[in-house]
Chains A and B, each alone.
Chain A
Amino acid sequence: MSMLTQEEYEHKHDNCDGLCTIDPERVDQQDETRMPCVTCPFCKEIVTAELTPTTIHCPACKITVKR
């Protein structure tokens, strides 16, 4: 899943139900680009989410949304 339209992108973020919100306490203390134990709101798989300063990414379904 890569090229989303702006509308699709925002729709996905709305569908996160808060799961795309980053809780600093849950970010890997050793590697701030990883947040373990997250159920992806889209593919519903338990993953270690990949973080950038502006996005959160699911490695299982490849969906990326804004933080």
Chain B
Amino acid sequence: MAGPAETQNYIFVDEHHDLAHARAGVRQEAWKLVDTRQEQLDRGDTEGIPLALDALSTAEAAHEAAHTYGIDSDEYQEKHAGLRLDMLRLIAEWNRKLTYEYFEPVRHTFYAETEDFYSHGLSIRQMTENALRPIAGNPEEVDRRVNEHVENETPNIVRRLGSFALGSIGIRTVSECTDKAITDYAADQQTGATHRGYDGYVPEIKKLMLRDIRFDEVSGDRLEEQIGVSGLYINHYVIQQALNRRGLQADHLDKTALHGSQFIAEDNLLDFVALLDKTASEEWCTNIFMGEQVSADFVKDYASVKQEAKQRQEKLHDLAATAANFVMDLSKDGFDKRKAPAHIEDFVKLQLIQIAHGNQEAAKHIFGEETAQGLQEVHWNVMNGNEEEAARLLDEVIARAPGGGACAGGSCGLESIHQFTAEGKKLAEAVGAKPGDIVVKDNLRVCECGKRGIVYAYNATKVNKFCTHCKKSESKVSIIKQA
């Protein structure tokens, strides 16, 4: 039975004149910055252009806090918790890449002096600003980044202008897969080319992300909640029809324009998914739940979606802590920040390959049918004692398995050590790996002896290193207070 909020009409933020005016100002400033960076590139003066994505910034802040306040300090623990949360989000999104997932609200702390929101000490305004730049041949992506900068500033504008009762509303964004990602993916499928990453979008299922920002009226902070669902049934037309049912005329908006048009909603995000499912079910004449086709008699239990997601994500905490340990280690080693996003993604990919290796269903959700079949073949070879063939096949499967976004298929410098082979066992033993550790050879980092090829064993609390050339080994314990 629908409650009052579930039948309330939505309102585009820009229907309010003052809000529209303020948002247009932010948009104009964002485009000015894109133009300035274009001029810098044209002049060859690229020093001031920031990295589009700084994957080591949280780890750097954690190291700095450890140095200043010590590893027992709240400052260090908070920064490290932030890094673990970032890693959990990366892994959890990838773990359900090809299906739906719910992500519980994440707090963004408000600082009145700068009128900016921070996530674990890092300015979100700065992050969205850093992503602004011209991208030749991809104006759609530039538009999306400008939209995201405006989206980030919108809660502040709404609060400043006092247009709505903040406690009861969500500021909602619908972020569909870009046309470029869909076109590129289709072309690569036709030619058999390797997965390209597609700027972090998931064109395989035309995935759409739905976001709500809500205010915590007591602290002034905001909370960001997200759901990702397939866009195969919930396509742009279905979204427009669903919005019409809540009083929003969106027929004139293409995907990017809708992405840039936040709207005010009083219902919750799962109510919105239910509305989209209902509309899609009617349009496609089939039963849709969380964006996916289900049997006609399927019981749609939206109430259990959050709990199930929580249970799934709780199982990923150890992996997230291990990945955080890897990132801390990269940062400590002074690893090149420009290579870090791809390197981190490569590490997470190897972690997820381990999960997918023993779980056909998970493999399909994480990497798709081709990787799932490949891993099954690897498993079959291991079971039959064909270890060399299994290792060869596994290398092939890993190389072809799609990345999570920043990185495409292939390897970005990390090599998996297959512990079912004699050589893999020897290396795992040399590096002091324990069951459950992720063991990798890093072909980018250089040992003190000057050569590359250090083998690492990581888990949630330690890093072991072994140089395959000079045979030097090292073990470090990472001490983290358990929350």
| Interface of A toward B, CB cutoff 8 Å | 1, 4, 8, 11-12, 15, 17, 19, 23, 25-26, 28-31, 34, 36-39, 41-46, 48, 59-63
Contacts and interface: CB of A to CB of B under 8 A. Distances in A.
Interface residues of B, number: 39
B32 interface: no
B46 interface: yes
B412 A46 contact: no
A7 B186 CA distance: 41
Contact of B46 (A15, A25, A26, A37): A15
Contact of A48 (B133, B192, B408): B408
Contact of A43 (B49, B342, B410, B412): B49
A29 B410 contact: yes
B450 to A, nearest CB: 15
Interface stretch (B67-75, B135-143, B256-264): B135-143
Nearest to B341: A46
27 contacts: A11-B44, A17-B336, A19-B336, A26-B411, A26-B412, A26-B413, A28-B408, A29-B410, A31-B194, A34-B194, A36-B194, A36-B196, A36-B403, A36-B410, A37-B403, A39-B52, A41-B338, A42-B41, A43-B41, A44-B50, A44-B338, A45-B52, A48-B197, A60-B137, A61-B134, A61-B135, A63-B41
Nearest to B46: A42
Contact of B196 (A29, A38, A48): A48
A59 B408 contact: no
A29 B395 CA distance: 12
B374 interface: no
Contacts of A11: 44
B412 A44 contact: no
Given A43-B133, A44-B46, 6 more contacts: A1-B41, A37-B403, A37-B412, A42-B49, A44-B49, A44-B133
Which 7 A-B residue pairings sit nearest by Cβ, starting from the closest?
A37-B342, A39-B338, A36-B408, A37-B407, A37-B412, A42-B46, A44-B51
A66 B139 CA distance: 27
Contacts of B301: none
Nearest to A62: B136
B466 to A, nearest CB: 20
A30 B193 contact: yes
B146 to A, nearest CB: 15
A31 B196 CA distance: 12
A36 to B, nearest CB: 4
A34 B407 CA distance: 13
Contacts of A42: 41, 46, 49
Nearest to A60: B135
Given A25-B443, A39-B51, A46-B53, A59 B137 contact: yes
Nearest to A41: B338
A44 B41 CA distance: 11
Contacts of B49: 42-44
A19 to B, nearest CB: 6
A8 B342 CA distance: 29
Contact of B135 (A29, A37, A45, A63): A45
A37 B410 contact: yes
A59 to B, nearest CB: 6
A25 to B, nearest CB: 6
B339 interface: yes
Contacts of B413: 23, 25-26
Interface string B95-138: 00000000000000000000000000000000000000111111
B15 interface: no
B217 interface: no
B41 A37 contact: no
A33 to B, nearest CB: 11
B135 A26 contact: no
Contacts of A41: 46, 338
A59 B410 contact: no
Among A38, A42, A43, max chain B CB count under 10 A is at A43
B342 A60 contact: no
A17 B334 CA distance: 14
Contacts of B52: 39, 44-46
A36 B44 contact: no
